[in-house]
Amino acid sequence: MPEDTATLDDLPSHHGGAEALARLLARALFAGRWRPGDDFPKEMDLCRHFAVSRNQVRNALASLTATGLVERTAGRGSVVRAVDDWHLLDPLVSDWMTGIESLDASLVREIFAFRYSAEPMVARLAAEAAEAADLERLEAAYQGMCDTADAPGARHAEHDVAFHDAIYRASHNLIWRQMGHLLRPSIIALIQSSQAHVHRRHAGLGDSLIRHRRVLEAIRRRDADAAESAAREVLRRTAIDLAIVPAPAANHPDPEDSP
């Protein structure tokens, strides 16, 4: 069996048109099935495997090309582009990423690096600009996190991402609010990956709740410095859960773990 065909064997079945096929292939890329620099399956292999027309395959590949995921080269076919070239903030890419259960480790690091540089600043802006309705959204999301902490999963992740989305909205900056909307699928994916790590090490979500509560309280007090610092600590814990940075040694407990 040709190598290109073998890489398609355990993909989910395809139903629908070119848009659905592009989504299926993009999600496989996000999960790391093909690495940057790899040859992407040839048109005819895709046609045979999914039993679709060449025109449908070409339209799907055109979407992957337009969003920077693959590059089509005359005489070679399609090649997976470097993650740096992927248009992660393209609304179409955000839609493809919605609901994905696992992301490739390199993509996780890229998304996390952006969040780590941006969200503490957004939390600072939220502390300075939040209105009563913003605080209500934050408090409702945090309460939802508390209510679902004993059974983490999709519902807890939704409350968690609602908390972060409320911070972006509370900045009252149009660009940051739009950025929060575009980042929502990737934030959900990171939260789910982080939760899975916590579950594997049989740890609870008490630490996460404490850290999120500190962000909420700092924004409520309009303490911009504290909000920025607290948001950074939330993300630092996420980095540990995702194995982006090592966990503190057992004999050197994390100073931020105390309430």
Q: How confident is the model at residue 255 (pLDDT cuts 50, 70, 90)?
A: very low
| Mean pLDDT in residue range 163-190 | 86
d(CA 110, CA 209): 25
User: Residues 152, 123: contact at Cβ < 8 Å?
Assistant: no
Lowest-confidence segment of 10-14, 195-199, 253-257 by average pLDDT:
253-257
| Mean pLDDT in residue range 206-227 | 95
pTM for this prediction? 0.75
More confident residue, 205 or 18: 18
Whole-number pLDDT of residue 186: 74
Q: Is the pLDDT of residue 239 over 90?
A: no
Give residue 16's region: left, alpha or beta (phi > 0; psi -120 to 50): left
**What is the overall mean pLDDT for the chain?**
85
d(CA 233, CA 210): 11
* CATH superfamily assigned to domain 98-241: GntR ligand-binding domain-like (1.20.120.530)
Sketch the domain layout of the chain as residue ranges: 3-85, 98-241
d(CA 86, CA 75): 23
Helix axes 224-241, 174-200, angle to 10 degrees: 40
Fold of 3-85: Arc Repressor Mutant, subunit A (1.10.10)
Helix axes 154-170, 206-220, angle to 10 degrees: 20
Q: Are strands 77-80 and 70-73 parallel, antiparallel or unpaired?
A: antiparallel
